[in-house]
Structures are given as C-alpha cells and as structure tokens.
Amino acid sequence: MDDLSTIRSEALGAVQQAADLAALDAARVAALGKKGSVSGLMKTLGGSALSARLVNEKIDVSLPARPEGQGSLHPIGQVMDELAAIFGEMGFTWADGPDIEDDWHNFTALNIPPDHPARQMQDTFYLPPRADGTPMVLRTHTSPVQARTMLDKNVQRMLADGGSLRIIVPGRTFRIDNDATHTPMFHQVEGLVIDRTTHMGHLKGCVHDFCRAFFEVDDLPLRFRPSYFPFTEPSAEADIGCSWKDGELRIGAGDSWLEILGSGMVHPNVIANCGLDPAIYQGFAFGMGIDRIAMLKYGIPDLRSFFDSDLRWLRHYGFSTLEWPSLTQGLGR
Ligand code: DAH
C-alpha cells in the first residue's frame, strides 16, 4: 500500500509539473507504460498470491500414488488384428464399407435379385428408404464390400495393369437373430482375390494356410464340402479337423470336423455387375464369422458375453494393448 501511495503522489506531482504535452506524455509513460511504476506493481500481484498459497497449502508427500488403470483389448479386436497379421503376410490389405448399406450392394450386385429366395436366407433389418427411394438395410454380411472394391476406379486401373486385388474386410454385420449362438450384431471377415489366373487351388491353399496360422496347429486337416452361395460358383464350405474329449473341444487332427467358413470362385455375374469383364477376370472369395473363430480359439462358451460390456469378463478374456500380433512373435497370448 505504501508503494501505491508513493507511486500515486509521484505520478500526480509529475502531471502537475508538466509544462507541455511532451512532459505530460512522459509522466503517463513513467506511470502506465510497459516499464512504468503502476505496471511494475501489477506484476508483483501474481507473486504475492503464490506466496499466500504456499503458506496455506500443505502437500503430504508420504501419501501412496494412485494406481494407474491398465485397459485391455476385446477379443474381437484382438482377432481382427490377428487376421490382419496373417492375411497381411499373404499380401492382403484391409478394406472397409458402411454398416448402413443399400439393397443393391448388399444383394443385387452379389447376384441376389429382388425376388430371389436367397434373400430369405438372411433375416434382414430393413431401414427406411433414402429420399430418392433407394431401399436401405443394415448390411447382413461383409460381402457388399466386394462390390464396392471392384467398382473402385483405382482398383480397376490396377487390375487392367495386370495387378492382383487382395482384400480382407473385417467388420460388423447385422441380422434379426438372438440366442446363445446368434446376436443381432456380429462380426464377419470377407476375403476377396481377383486377377486373371487365381483358381480354386489357390483358395484352398490360402484358407488352409490361414487356419494353420490362426489356430497355431501345423498339421491341421482341412476339407472342402460342396455348398451353395449365390455369389460364388462353384461354392464350398471349409471344415477343420477337431476332436471332443470330456465335452472339451480340441482343434487339430481328430475324428470330428468343425465348419469354419463359406467360400468359392466369384460368380461371373458378380464380376460383371461390378464393372469387370468376367472373360478376363476371375478369383475367389470367402466369408467367416469372427466371433465364432474367436470363441473356438480362446474357449469362450457364450457368444452373447462378447457384447455384455462386463469388465470382469474383459479382464479375464481381454488382451494386452502392448503386444501387436505377428506371425514371428506369436499371435495370441
Ligand atoms: N456372405 C456369406 C454369409 O454371410 C458368407 C460367404 C460365403 C461369403 C461364401 C463369401 C463366400 O465371400 O464366398 O452368409
């Protein structure tokens, strides 16, 4: 306060004694300028508040530190990373598409015309149509991303240059279904290879290599069974060898088989619908349930538990966020 009254009288004195404008301005600068006496005093305000705080606040340095929570990865995310590691090694890249899909990409492009009975195979969630009348659905499978990718002009140019298209599409899918083995939202991974020479033998080799790597069983038997899908011809379902002992499943050579995916050579109609010439291009596709292979690999008994958001469950089945799955360092824990 003393400082303040001295500054005040000095400043007022300087104003009174100012004989001309220049002297008056000098008096203003001396008090209120950047380096002036009032400004100097303002700067000390912060300092006095800090010393008051330091006097009043006490820190107890003997208190234990708060523990840091360590999160974990959901098994679905983990398995998606494992898929990326395995298929990445085979030259596949990760492709995406929308969860809300139009009827054309979800069905028609995939050789499932409007009145086709195959539409009843999938219990579809229909959405209100777009303003232009386009019928919309929640995608019932990841297969529409096949069409989205083949229609991509950059992909078509790459194929015309003699390249090979290899994608996996891990993602969410939706069907009206709810019991111990079905949930209305679930996950699939689609695989697609398109070029001029890829054949059924490549499909089988690719699926077999994947299954051996994913389940970490070198001599895992694989068999193809003839099947039907509108978007492939010929179509096959793939089974891996397994056995059951005291109600426990063991994956590997055994006396039983376990269905693992649907697949086939991409139907020429699909290739044509996607703007490519089926006389030039061919390839294979497959579709697999991610939740299902996660349950099989990690011994998770109930599909619904994946989506309960129970932290105790996640602590038990979750994965370290610091370990990235790789073929050389190991996939799972
Ligand atoms: N989209 C099929 C489904 O969800 C799965 C499938 C089967 C995908 C065969 C494919 C395939 O790409 O070739 O039921």
Tell me: the pLDDT tens digits for 119-144?
Answer: 776 789 999 999 999 999 999 999 99
Task: Name the more confident of 182 and 273.
Answer: 273
Task: Ligand 1, residue 287: give the atom nearest the CA.
Answer: 8
Task: Ligand 1, residue 284: give the atom nearest the CA.
Answer: 13
pTM: 0.81
Q: Is 232 in the pocket of ligand 1 (CB under 6 A)?
A: yes
- The helix (run of H) or strand (run of E) holding residue 209 is helix 200-215
User: Is residue 258 over pLDDT 90?
Assistant: yes
Q: Is 101 in the pocket of ligand 1 (CB under 6 A)?
A: no
Q: How far is the CA of 59 from the centre of ligand 1 (A)?
A: 63
Q: How far is the CA of 119 from the centre of ligand 1 (A)?
A: 13
Residue of minimum CA distance from atom 5 in ligand 1:
287
Task: Name the more confident of 11 and 256.
Answer: 256
Instruction: Return the best residue to mutate from 165, 177, 228, 229 for the ligand 1 pocket (most ligand atoms within 8 A of CB).
Output: 229
pLDDT tens, 140-185?
A: 999 999 999 999 999 999 999 999 999 999 999 999 988 878 999 9
Q: How far is the CA of 30 from the centre of ligand 1 (A)?
A: 83
> What average pLDDT score do residues 32-41 get?
86
> How distant, in Å, are the alpha carbons of 31, 79, 154, 252, 287 from that of 24?
11, 79, 74, 97, 87
Task: Name the more confident of 26 and 145.
Answer: 145
User: Token digits for 122?
Assistant: 């999938």
User: Is residue 2 over pLDDT 80?
Assistant: no
Burial per residue of 235-274, b for 16 or more beta-carbon CB atoms within 10 angstroms, e otherwise: bbbbbbbbeeeeeeeebeebeeebebbbbbbbbbbbbebb
Task: Name the more confident of 31 and 333.
Answer: 31
Instruction: Return the best residue to mutate from 105, 119, 121, 141 for the ligand 1 pocket (most ligand atoms within 8 A of CB).
Output: 141
**What average pLDDT does the structure give for the chain?**
93
Residue of minimum CA distance from atom 14 in ligand 1:
141
First to last CA, the chain: 69
Question: How confident is the model at residue 144, as a pLDDT?
Answer: 98
User: Is residue 333 over pLDDT 70?
Assistant: no
Question: How confident is the model at residue 247, as a pLDDT?
Answer: 86
Question: How confident is the model at residue 255, as a pLDDT?
Answer: 96
Question: How confident is the model at residue 332, as a pLDDT?
Answer: 73
Task: Name the more confident of 238 and 68.
Answer: 238
> What average pLDDT score do residues 242-267 get?
95
